[in-house]
Every structure is written in C-alpha cells, then in structure tokens.
Amino acid sequence: MIQIERVNWDGIPVLICTKKTLYDSALPIVIYLHGITGAKEDNLSIGYLLAERGFRVILPDAYMHGERDNQNTTDLELHFFEIVENNLTDLKVIYDQLVNLKLIKNQSITLAGTSMGGISTAAALTCHPWISRAAIMMGTAKLHAFSEAMIKKKEMRGIELPISKQEQEVLLDRLKQYDLSLNTNKLENRPLFIWHGDEDRVVPYDHAKTFYDQLIERPSTKDVTFLKEKGIGHKVTRQARLALVDWIAQSTK
C-alpha cells in the first residue's frame, strides 16, 4: 500500500509518497518538480510508481503554483525566471528537511522534473552537489538561450515584461551561472537521463539533442541516457514515465 502524506516545509507544500511498510525507514529519495501552471498533484502517478519500487518521493508546489498560487497572476511565463530561481532555493530547504529528519538512505537523491521542472533540474545541477543523479523530461539545459528566446518571443507578440531592458540584460547574464550547457563540469559525472518528444514546439527538441551531443563529445562524460520519442509534442507520455521510473530504479542500485 502506498501512503501519501501532505506536509508543509518552511512554506513549501509537499506531497510525500512512500510504501506504508517503509514509512519509518531511511530510503533513496526522488524529488520531482512539476511544470509551469502545474502543481504537485500532477505527478502522483510517478510518485506512486517510484514508491512501489522502494523510493520516498517528494512532490513540491513551485512558487506561485498549487497551494502557493495567490490567484493574482494572469501570465506565469512573465515570472518564469523568478520561479526557476525559487525552485533552486526551495530544493535546499527540502534537502535540509530530509537531512534533519534522517530520511535519506546512502545520501541517494534523484532530482527530476517536467518542462519548467526539467529546466530547474538542469539548473540545480550547477549549484547543488548533493544531487546524486537527475532526469530532464522535455526541459532544457540551455537556460540562457531558452530565456533569451522567450524574451524575444514576448517582445514580438507585443507583451511587456515586468522588467526593463537593462534588467533583462542583467538577468540573462545572471542565468549563465545556472546554464548546465555552459557549465558542463558541474555535472561531475552524475548519471543523467534526458527525454524529449521530437515535435515539441514549447521547449525545442533541438536543445535536448545538441546538449546530449555536447556531453558525449566530452571524454570525461559518463552515464548519460538520451531518449527521443517520435511524433510527440510537449507532453510526457506513459512510455516516457515508465522509462524514467526504470532508469531511476536501475541507476540507484
């Protein structure tokens, strides 16, 4: 039987999925981050599948999402960068809670996420060395290029950003430190899983493929898995979820 517990860690609403018989045990951890406009409940199917395999799965609500949505924001994309940076801060809070509660087995922590959650996952690898392995589900490790394209797209549609041109330049420069494609040494040979549909028009498939090519050209790169799903747009399929669960289970052994 899988137990789902609702907690709040320093203002972060979290669902925790655990096999009931293992509830009091230290277990390998999986933290899964949802996409923009989503919420923690969206990934309960992944939480269930992984909990069945003996993991403790942490599903948090991102800033301005789920229980943290104040209903005053009409376009979350205008706050995209703020949300991603908040995810990085939230992850440290979650990690500290897990350590304090002695819930982590063998310091094993997998971080994964969908779309914005996958983008946050790639960014987190540049600043959180306690992450053991990671999975990017239709996200991008090319944070700077993706953010620059997003800003240009908004401008072309006549949408005014809440920051000035000068602030945009400062922001884009700051994001370089979290861009895994510009800081591949930060991967530090941690296992990485990348999944992407080849017809994605929201987060370009080309970002995933060229980043993978960049990694495998490095002599020091080890244990990178890349899966392309043909004919799939910006949606994580059941096949992708099952492949992810299998990869996490196998790479954690």
Beta strand residue intervals within the chain, DSSP E: 2-9, 12-19, 27-33, 56-60, 104-114, 133-137, 192-197, 224-229
The tens-digit pLDDT sequence of the chain (253 residues) is 999 999 999 999 999 999 999 999 999 999 999 999 999 999 999 999 999 999 999 999 999 999 998 766 567 877 888 899 999 999 999 999 999 999 999 999 999 999 999 999 999 999 999 999 999 999 999 999 998 888 888 777 776 666 677 777 888 889 999 999 999 999 988 999 999 999 999 999 999 999 999 999 876 667 999 999 999 999 999 999 999 999 999 999 7
Tell me how far apart the alpha carbons of residues 169 and 167 are, in angstroms, rounded to a whole number. 5
* pTM (two decimals): 0.94
The two tokens of residue 252 are 């954690």
The strand pair at 27-33 and 2-9 is best described as: unpaired
DSSP string of 185-222, one letter each residue: GGGTT--EEEEEETT-TTTTHHHHHHHHHHHHTSTT--
Q: What was the pLDDT predicted at 140?
A: 97
Grouping H, G, I as helix, E, B as strand and the rest as coil, residue 250 is helix
Sign, CA dihedral 165-168-169-170, equals positive
Q: What was the pLDDT predicted at 72?
A: 62
What is the Cα gyration radius of the chain? 18
Q: Over pLDDT 90: what percentage of the chain?
A: 79
Q: CB pairs under 8 A, 24+ apart, for 20-25? A: 22/54, 22/56, 25/105
Q: What was the pLDDT predicted at 160?
A: 67
Name 112's Cβ contacts closer than 8 Å, sequence gap at least 6: 30, 31, 32, 33, 118, 121, 134, 135, 136, 137, 193, 244, 248
Sheet holding 192-197, edge to edge: 2-9, 12-19, 56-60, 27-33, 104-114, 133-137, 192-197, 224-229
Q: Over the range 150-180, which residues count as b (16 or more CB within 10 Å of their CB) and which as e?
A: ebeebeeeeeebeeeeeebeebbeebeebbb
Q: What was the pLDDT predicted at 150?
A: 84
Q: What was the pLDDT predicted at 205?
A: 97
The two tokens of residue 124 are 């987190």
Q: CB pairs under 8 A, 24+ apart, for 166-175? A: 171/81, 171/147, 172/144, 172/147, 172/148, 175/81, 175/143, 175/144, 175/147
